[in-house]
Amino acid sequence: MSKNLSVAIGVFLVAAGAGFAGNWWGAHHGAGNAAGMEAASAVSTSPAPKARKLRFYRNPMGLADTSPTPKKDPMGMDYIAVFEGEEEETPANANQLKFSAEKIQKLGVRTEPAALRVLDKTVRASGRVEPDERRVTTIAPKFEGYVEKLLVNATGQGVAKGQLLFEAYSPELVAAQREYAIAIQGVQAMAQAGPEAQESMQQLAEASLVRLRNWDVSEAQVKEFAASGAAKRTLGFRSPVAGIVTEKKAVQGMRFMPGDALYQVTDLSSVWVMADVSEQDIGSVKVGARATVKINAYPDKSFTAALTTIYPTLNAETRTVPVRLELANPGGLLKPGMFAQLELAVGARNKVLTVPVSAVIDSGARQLLLVQVGDAKEGRFEPREVKIGARSENYLEVLSGLREGEAVVTSANFLIDAESNLKAAIAGFGPGGVAASGAAMAEAASPMAPASPAATGHQAQGKVVEVDAKSLTVTLSHGPVASLKWPAMTMEFALANSALLKDLKPGVPVAFEFVERGKGEWVITKITPQAMDAKK
């Protein structure tokens, strides 16, 4: 025999013996026996449960409509009874939510008053170092010829201003030199001739000189031609700027045509930083702003740049706008192609009404705040739709819908939102459902316990009547919904996302699940055409 069974039998025998002794004592003491029986009856008999007092009947769709007597709504659904014990969780305003102090503490709710602040914002963007286009020079001869001799023959080589790059031979250039030399000699020979002859010869010399200048022959070389009177076989090309040879196409002995770019020399004493600023931040970025630039190659250094240009184009794929900054490059540390990280400090000049970033519940279509109503001990909150403006690291500007000093929920606001939706779903079961499954609903109402499908959603079957993709709604003719005690009817539902529109057409039979997101706002979270199930 087990130990537990032995203990149980012992307790039973002791109780039986005590009862027998009591009866024997009562038989010998009549008056005392009667009094004892009355006392035992008073102790053992528990009072009958007190009937709950009915307060009113509320609208089954969550609308702000109550009735003192039972009635039906326009769709034929019975109003739901609300009893006196439920008034603690029912705020005076139908749009408000009320929670006990214990529930607020369990959820970890914290609030912060809306206040006026200057929004200090730092715009961060990634960029790359590029050459300053205004400091890029191309050496391209304007006549046909041949590369006779290369003096700078490697890309990346540094050159000084005026340094000889290469020498070129051109039959056209030699002929032009001879023409100029002959014209100069003719001017000298016509010194004793008449004015008309001198003028004609002078015009010929000037035309030859202009031709040489148009071919970028320097003044020093022209004077050398005039002084010697002999044409030089080759012409030297010099770098017009100091910089780095970033491109070299010239090869010794090659033939080139007019306009061929043989060299490209870039001055890297100042460079550009091209960055992509997010579309949502471009409105706060202004020309002339100072930026701190970090280069991955030099993590211990920071550079200061000035924003000079905001381009008038938007990259549709990345939703960014290119901007340009100018940056000094002493010592040539910054190389074209390096990655850069930018920080632009921007901020509003005036104070604006702000709330913490964590206070906003953004559903995509609208932004909501949970505003504390009355004293903090009352535990009442009101969902408030607001319009959001500028944003900083920790705060958001509120353009409308809130007043200074009003306390907003900054933590656990999503839990409160989920809790309120859960309560709305549970209330749809009606008084019978609440009484039948009170323990299950108490467990579902706890934020620490996972919500069961019966408590969070409802299921039904029906047929598609109309689909509105623009407003993301669908009208269904559905059968009875047992969890809400709805009869069969036709009504409009919102869709949780656009993906649910797939395969929805008028006349298609569907099975769907939905929840109550707000008062009277029913949202479909899952919908499956029956034709698809049949194929499977």
- pLDDT for the residue 438: 37
- Of 295 and 28, which is predicted with more confidence? 295
Rounded Cα gap, residues 416 and 408, in angstroms: 12
Which among 169, 162, 168, 167 has a CA at the least distance from the CA of 137?
162
Beta-carbon contacts of 39 under 8 Å, excluding residues fewer than 6 positions away, are none
Q: How far is CA 184 from CA 213, 222, 246, 287, in A?
A: 16, 12, 41, 56
What global pTM score does this model have? Answer: 0.47
CA distance 11 to 17: 10
Domain spans in the chain, listed from the N-terminal domain onward? 3-44, 52-92, 110-119+350-411, 124-132+267-347, 141-260, 457-535
The domain 110-119+350-411 having CATH identifier 2.40.420.20: the answer here is: yes
Stretch 1-24: mean pLDDT? 40
Helix, strand, coil distribution of the chain in percent, nearest 5 = 30, 35, 30
Contacts of 44 (CB under 8 A, 6+ apart): none
CATH for 457-535, options being 2.40.50.320, 3.40.640.10, 1.10.8.420, 1.20.1510.10: 2.40.50.320
Q: Name which CATH class applies to 124-132+267-347.
A: mainly beta
- What tens digit of pLDDT does each residue of 126-185 get? 999 999 999 999 999 988 999 999 999 899 999 999 899 999 998 888 888 788 777 777
Query: Inter-axis angle of helices 438-445 and 413-427, to 10 degrees?
Result: 160
Buried b (16+ CB within 10 A) or exposed e, 349-372: eeebbbbbebbbbeeeeebbbbbb
* Alpha helix positions (H), 29-126: 30-44, 101-107
Q: Looking at mean pLDDT, say which of 7-21, 196-210, 264-278 comes out highest.
A: 264-278
CB-based contacts of 51, cutoff 8 Å, min separation 6 = none
Helix/strand/coil for 496 = coil
Cα torsion for 88, 90, 92, 98, to the nearest 10°? 80
Q: Which residue has the higher pLDDT, 524 or 424?
A: 524
Tokens of 308: 């000079």
Helix (H/G/I), strand (E/B), else coil: 503: coil
- The structure tokens 């705060």 sit at 395
The region that residue 221 occupies, defined by phi over 0 for left and psi between -120 and 50 for alpha, beta otherwise, is: alpha
Give the model confidence (pLDDT) of 74-122 as tens digits. 666 778 887 775 544 445 555 677 777 777 777 788 889 999 888 777 8
**Res. 12 pLDDT band, cuts 50 70 90:** very low
Which is more confidently placed, 379 or 417? 379
